[in-house]
Amino acid sequence: MPRPEPIKAVRGVRDIMPADRPLWRRAERSAAAVAERFGYEEIVTPIIEPAELIERAGEDSDAFAKELYRFVDRGDRAIALRPEATAGVVRAYFEHNLNQGPQPSRLYLIGPMFRYDRPQKGRYRQFFQLDVEAIGSAGPALDAEVIEIARDWLSTLGLGDLRIELNSIGDHRCRPAYLEELKAYYRPLAENLSAESQRRIEQNPLRLLDSKAEQDQPFKARAPRITDHLCDECSAHWSAVRRLLDAAAIEYVLNPHLVRGLDYYTRTVFEIFPAGAAGQQDALAGGGRYDGLAEAEGWPPTPAVGFASGLDRVTDLMAAGDSSPVAVVVLPEGELDVAASELARICRTAAAVAVDYETRSLESKMRSASKRGARWVVIVNEEEASRRVARLRDMTQREQTEVRWEELPTRLA
Ligand code: AMP
């Protein structure tokens, strides 16, 4: 019978292999450490959510709908794989009465997100995000705080050379009048614009400002700026955020074309890029205020701010450190499984240990231990096992000494 074709991973998703996990772990651990230092607590929400929750939060964006992994389960419920964490975190905040506790609720989450997007480097259909949310406060200090968390975390990982782009997109009071002005500016230019932008003039004019199409670029520069049209409240918030960032010595650049397409986003928006990156495709993090989301989900109006950062992109930029998790390899010479496993158990009180149980030559076992990056090798033969001694080899110094089993933990520590 012919062998069936081996089955490979689903398109656009990837395995994170043991060689890369130490890097990922470092990123995840320092995310938790930095967030917790700012008083944020971890929350874990389900990967599946009612499709309606996600769709209500993103209903006026067709790109959003096209990217959604959506299915009907056996109980005829419409389910979505979460494309981002915020909608679920806000749901959980209300469902578990965090809104009745001290405000704001400071929450963070690390986990996989799903978007049916065109896969390419740095863009996957399953990807991981650090999500940081401060829910229940309208104060500008929280906007600056979440930016500081993102900056501190990326710096800790050696990615301190950043470009933080900042804008304000106003709120339900000032944005409608500004959008009318934006439409009035773009309408006479319509025939020069890309098809997508032509459609957006009436449907989602704010998104004209972040069009990537070449032919739209010349018109963006002269478009009216929302920061010139903010109401008094938004304007005060906007200057307060910048003052706070200045006081924290966080550098940023103003980008009047940085927007969000959905109505529930208000005021502050920001994106963080590696300093050298030219395109908008390389963002390491994006966030802002979403004072209208709770209401869009059917809960009482509640102001909130947060950001999400892509761990796939962050780990891709981190310098690979010493990644060998195994410090010691025990190499039995001959059929010595019982002795070797006891020896390993003793060594494990001091270090990470793997045993090479394969029946092959000592030479080839040594080669493989060195390939794994082991710092130490512990070799034992039958005669040595009977005396409870072993040869401890320092792989960097290439020195070898006889050591009693019981002394190994001190030698390896
Ligand atoms: P967003 O939720 O779209 O604002 O994205 C926030 C961050 O998540 C981005 O800055 C990226 O770092 C990351 N990200 C978004 N989409 C993807 C994707 N498809 N693959 C990998 N990372 C992503």
Sign of CA dihedral 242, 216, 206, 175: positive
Nearest CA to ligand 1 atom 8: 310
- Residue 63: the pLDDT is 65
Q: Note whether 248 and 392 are same-domain residues.
A: no
Q: Which of 317, 344, 378 is the last residue of a domain?
A: 317
Last residue of one domain, picked from the residues 287, 317, 347: 317
Q: State in Å: Cα 11 to ligand 1 middle.
A: 18
The pLDDT of residue 306: 98
Q: Are 285 and 308 in contact (CB under 8 A)?
A: yes
The answer to whether residue 195 is domain-embedded is no
Residue closest via CA to ligand 1's atom 4 equals 286
Calculate how far, in angstroms, residue 47's C-alpha sits from the geometric centre of ligand 1.
16
* Residue count of the chain: 413
Higher-confidence residue of 262 and 193: namely 193
Q: Which residue has the tokens 């230092």?
A: 37
**Is residue 124 pLDDT above 60, yes or no?**
yes
7's CB contacts (< 8 A; 6+ apart) are: none
- The residue whose C-alpha atom lies closest to atom 17 belonging to ligand 1 is 123
pLDDT at res. 2: 85
Best mutation site among 10, 84, 89, 113 for ligand 1 pocket (most ligand atoms within 8 Å of CB): 113
Alpha-carbon span 221 to 209, nearest angstrom: 9
- Cα(398) to ligand 1 centroid in Å equals 46
Atom of ligand 1 nearest to the CA of 83: 2
Residue 339 CB coordination number (10 Å): 21
Q: What is the CATH number of the domain that holds 342?
A: 3.40.50.800
CB-based contact 34:153 (threshold 8 Å): yes
Distance 310 CA to ligand 1 centre (A): 5
Give, using CA atoms, the residue closest to atom 21 of ligand 1: 123
399 lies in which domain range? Answer: 328-412
Which atom of ligand 1 lies closest to the CA of 119?
19
Helix (H) or strand (E) holding 262: none
pLDDT digits (tens, 9 = 90+) for 371-406: 888 889 999 999 999 999 999 999 888 889 999 999
Please give the C-alpha separations between residue 297 and each of 59, 79, 88, 194, 355, in angstroms, as whole numbers: 11, 16, 10, 33, 54
> Three-state DSSP class for 347?
helix
Within-domain flag for 186: no
pLDDT, greater one: 92 or 264: 92
| Ligand 1, pocket-test mutation among 123, 133, 259, 265, most atoms within 8 A of CB | 123
The domain total for the chain is: 2
State phi, psi for 276 to the nearest 5 degrees.
Answer: -80, -15
Per-residue pLDDT of 17-57, as tens digits, reads 998 999 999 999 999 999 999 999 999 999 999 999 998 87
Q: Are 286 and 362 members of one domain? A: no
pLDDT over 90 (residue 262): no
Ligand 1 centre and the CA of 110: distance in Å? 13
Q: Answer yes or no: is pLDDT of 64 > 90.
A: no
Determine what percent of the chain is predicted with pLDDT higher than 70.
Answer: 96
Q: Are residues 133 and 276 in the same domain?
A: yes
Say whether pLDDT at 413 is over 70.
yes
Domain boundary among 317, 346, 371: 317
Cis before residue 104, ω within 30 degrees of 0?
Answer: yes
pLDDT in tens, 321-372: 555 667 788 888 888 999 999 999 999 999 889 999 988 898 999 998 888 8
Place 320 in a pLDDT band, splitting at 50, 70 and 90: low
pLDDT band at 281 (very low <50, low <70, confident <90, very high): low
User: Which residues are within 8 A (CB) of 279 and not within 5 positions of it... i.e. 6 or more apart?
Assistant: none
**3-class state of residue 395 by DSSP:** coil
**pLDDT for position 323:** 53
Sheet (strand 389-394) strand order: 353-355, 328-332, 376-380, 389-394, 399-404
Query: Is 212 contained in some domain?
Result: no
Q: Is the pLDDT of residue 319 over 80?
A: no
Task: Classify residue 283: in a domain, yes or no.
Answer: yes
Digit-coded pLDDT (tens) for 168-227: 999 999 999 999 999 999 999 989 999 989 999 998 899 999 888 999 999 998 999 999
Average confidence score pLDDT of the chain: 92
Ligand 1 centre to CA of 291 (Å) is: 21
Closest protein CA for atom 1 of ligand 1: 286
31-45, 81-95, 256-270: least confident range: 256-270
Ligand 1: lining residues by beta carbon, under 6 Å: 84, 115, 117, 122-124, 127, 129, 283-286, 308-310, 312-313
Model pLDDT, residue 94: 98
Confidence of residue 278 (pLDDT cuts 50, 70, 90): low
Q: Cα(312) to centroid of ligand 1, in Å?
A: 9
Kindly state whether residue 275 falls inside one of the protein's structural domains. yes
pLDDT number for residue 90:
98
pLDDT at 228 over 90: yes
Are residues 310 and 347 both part of a single domain?
A: no
Alpha carbon of 189 to ligand 1 centroid (Å): 32
- Burial class, 265, CB count within 10 angstroms (exposed 0-12 / middle 13-18 / buried 19+): buried
Residue 138 has pLDDT above 90, yes or no: yes
φ, ψ of residue 161 to 5 degrees: the values are -85, 90
- Ligand 1 centroid distance, CA of 387 (Å): 59
Question: Considering the entire predicted model, what is its pTM?
Answer: 0.87
Strands 78-81, 266-274: pairing is unpaired
